[in-house]
Chains A and B, each alone.
Chain A
Amino acid sequence: MAAGTLVDMTRIDKKPMNSGAGVAAGTAVSVRGLVKHFGDTKALDGVDLDVREGTVLGVLGPNGAGKTTLVRCLSTLLVPDSGSATVAGFDVVKQPRQLRRTIGLTGQYASVDEKLSGRENLYMIGRLLDLSRKDARSRADELLERFSLTDAAKRPAMTYSGGMRRRLDLAASMIGHPAVLYLDEPTTGLDPRTRNEVWDEVRRMVAEGATVLLTTQYMEEAEQLASELTVIDHGKVIANGGVNELKAKVGGRTLQIRPTDPDQLGAMARAVTEAGLDAHFLYGHSAGTQVIPDEGVLNVPILSDEQLTAVVGLLGARGYGIAHIGTHLPSLDEVFLAITGQKTGAAQDTHRETEEVAA
């Protein structure tokens, strides 16, 4: 990741654009009781959230949870039915014009003109943001360079790959040095490599001081980028807090034990199960001790420190040799499932955090 190698000084210079606008210190986005109906459907049902300046707030939720409606309200594309929201101190309903000067939006669908080249798109947006012709040109070139689009600068955007389009979109959102950036499912439909590119760019923007409101349905994405999370479902906030806070809140961990002799895995699992020391229900799923022969480990779901001590004590007393012990907090997928009680079918255990315990 090349983050920070090409720090954009202009952005840093212009950052205190919102000074004097009356933001409660450190809060870039503040939403209170936001409600939006579409006919009989309540897309937003009283949403409260805050994004601290210079941080990424991940807004997590399944399809139809109200994430996009939230972003559209916060970017003046929709007028909320009730509630209030301020961005960089400006009210979304009463001060839309000033607000628009402080935000950048990258949606799920690329919001660039497909028929125009990358450079023409960026130049046009520069001109719409009142840059002089010369400044608009140089800013366009600067951003093309930064987003590795210089070679494709003259090609129509419709010939771009999905990842290039998304990068062009991000570049377009950056032209006006926005204080607050909304990224609405920025990697939906991208392959893993392109997704990583987008993530790198987002990290870089944040490193340079941008505040980001990121909506996603991917736990991994939230975990990678966001410092704090708001989980919404059916238009309501159902949980919020730091990533680890949320994980801890759900309760339960997985205790992973690596025996010195892999042949004893089965016997150890039986011992734990027969003694009834493992939890039978975790993160909204039924659970139980599992043997993972390929990794040579035993996974024991536990709900408390006492359980951990008891399991280790039992195995020690029976004379099994233990080479390594670790506990894993649930993945965000598991957290999400536990909170919403809804099956997303996306539960993957790929990105667990490991807390090392005594070996």
Chain B
Amino acid sequence: MSTTTTVEAPAQQTPSRPRRTTGSDDVRIGMRANLRHIGALARRNMLQIKADPESMFDAVLMPIIFILLFVYVFGGAMFGSGNQEAYVNYLVPGLMAMMGLNIAMAVGTGVNDDFKKGVMDRFRTMPIARSSVLIAKMVVEVGRMLVATTILLIMGFILGLSISTSVWGLLAAVGLSLAFGASLMWIFILLGLTMKTAQAVQGVAMLVLMPLQFGSSIFAKPTTMPGWLQSFTDYNPLSNLADAARGLMTGGPVAHSALMTLAWSVGITLVMAPLAVAKFRKRT
């Protein structure tokens, strides 16, 4: 259908079609180029933090506030007053799981904000893999998660945390919680890309976060909970992660919970990452 009027230069009448024999989009982006792009974009995210140091407040303050609150508010109730230190050993591995969840949630609101900006249009009109924008964001956010975890551990040690396994056990626990946190980011990225406003993302995220966090073995032993709740906590991946981290740091069974955590991480990533990238591709 043509709505063109007759004032058209004769040279323009010939429609041009690409004469490429391949016809397909044959310019794949190589691994090295892809890494370079992710690097450049991660650098952008780092510079954003540098320009706005306040954006690190959550990663720095959250672990401090949470550990103090929980240890001194609930510690006495759970392990008897004066026995708060015993609770530290129980709580810190669980809080590691919680840090991951909270920072992953912040990625959702961040993505929602970020992707409203014109610069995203520029990225999407450039010859880069569209996933690189998301992966760069994740790389930096995992870095933030590591900062939060480190601060949490330092606070833990100050309050009496003792690692009864080994440094390797501790590192494995940190690695496991980062891996799980990274997989959660895909969920929140998808949420951030799907919902219209950052507030809506936050609202939905909180709705999911609260029951997941508290209906788990993070803060209290599920054996103290009613049966129906126990069966929920048993399937809650945050319980798996908290139990695995606890085992790796303070001894006890690890294999089942660690495997479950890894399975959840891989499963969530496999399902959510392609959805998030597809959403990013389509978002207008």
A residues within 8 Å of B by Cβ? 21-24, 26-27, 30, 32-33, 45-50, 52, 72, 75-78, 84, 86, 89-91, 94-98, 100-101, 103, 105, 107, 109-116, 120, 124-125, 127-130, 156, 172, 228, 236-242, 245-246, 249
State how many angstroms separate the Cβ of B113 from the closest Cβ of chain A: 11
Give complex CA distance A27, B13 in Å. 10
- The answer to whether A24 and B36 touch across the interface, beta carbons within 8 angstroms, is no
Candidates A47, A101, A112; contact of B119 at CB < 8 Å: A112
B39 near A97 (CB under 8 angstroms)? no
Please measure, in the bound complex, the distance between the C-alpha atom of A52 and the C-alpha atom of B37, giving whole angstroms. 33
User: CA separation between A46 and B2, bound complex, in Å?
Assistant: 6
A136 to chain B, nearest CB (A): 9
Residues of B115-140 at the interface with A, using a CB-CB cut-off of 8 Å, are 117-128
* Contacts known (A22-B20, A48-B4); A94 close to B25, Cβ less than 8 A: yes
Question: Given the interface contacts A101-B27, A128-B37, does A172 sit within 8 Å of B122 by beta carbon?
Answer: yes
Given known A100-B126, A105-B122, contact A22–B19 (CB-CB < 8 A):
yes
Chain A binding surface SS class: mixed
Please tell me if the beta carbons of A115 and B48 are within 8 angstroms of each other in the complex: yes
Is the pair A107, B124 in contact by a Cβ cutoff of 8 Å?
A: no
Of residues A26, A109, A111, which shows the largest number of chain B Cβ atoms within 10 Å of its Cβ?
A111
Known contacts A22-B17, A239-B5; A52/B11 CB under 8 A = yes
| Partner of A116 from B23, B25, B37, B44 at Cβ < 8 Å | B44
CB neighbors of A among B257-284 (8 A): 284
Interface of chain B residues 30 through 76 with chain A (CB within 8 A): 33, 36-37, 39-41, 43-44, 47-48, 51-52
How distant is the Cα of A52 from the Cα of B12 in the complex, in angstroms? 8
Residues of A within 8 A of B16 (CB): 22-24, 27, 30, 86, 89
Interface flag for B7 (CB, 8 Å): yes
Residues of A within 8 A of B20 (CB): 21-22, 89, 95
Q: Is the CB of B15 within 8 A of A156?
A: no
Contact of B33 among A21, A110, A130, A239 (CB under 8 A): A130
Instruction: Tell me the smallest distance from the CB of B176 to a CB of chain A, in Å.
Output: 33
Nearest CB of chain A from residue B34's CB, rounded to whole Å? 11
B11 and A128 form a contact (CB under 8 A): no
Q: Does B24 contact A (CB under 8 A)?
A: yes
Q: B14 — nearest CB in chain A belongs to which residue?
A: A24
| Cβ–Cβ < 8 Å partners of B128 in chain A | 128
Instruction: Determine whether the beta carbon of A75 is less than 8 Å from that of B125.
Output: yes
A103/B27 in contact, CB under 8 A:
no
The answer to whether A94 touches B3, judged by C-beta atoms less than 8 angstroms apart, is no
CB distance from B5 to the nearest CB of A (A): 5
> Known contacts A22-B18, A110-B118: does B4 contact A94 (CB below 8 Å)?
no
A105:B125 contact, CB within 8 angstroms: yes
With a cutoff of 8 Å between Cβ atoms, the chain B residues found around residue A246 in the complex are: 7
Residue on A nearest B128 in the bound complex, by CB: A128
- CB–CB A130/B36 < 8 A: yes
- Alpha-carbon distance A27/B128, docked complex (angstroms): 26
Q: Are A33 and B2 in contact (CB under 8 A)?
A: yes
* Contact pick for B25, options A77, A98, A242, CB 8 Å: A98
Measured CB to CB, the nearest residue on chain A to B40 is A127
For B17, list chain A residues within 8 Å (CB).
22, 24, 86
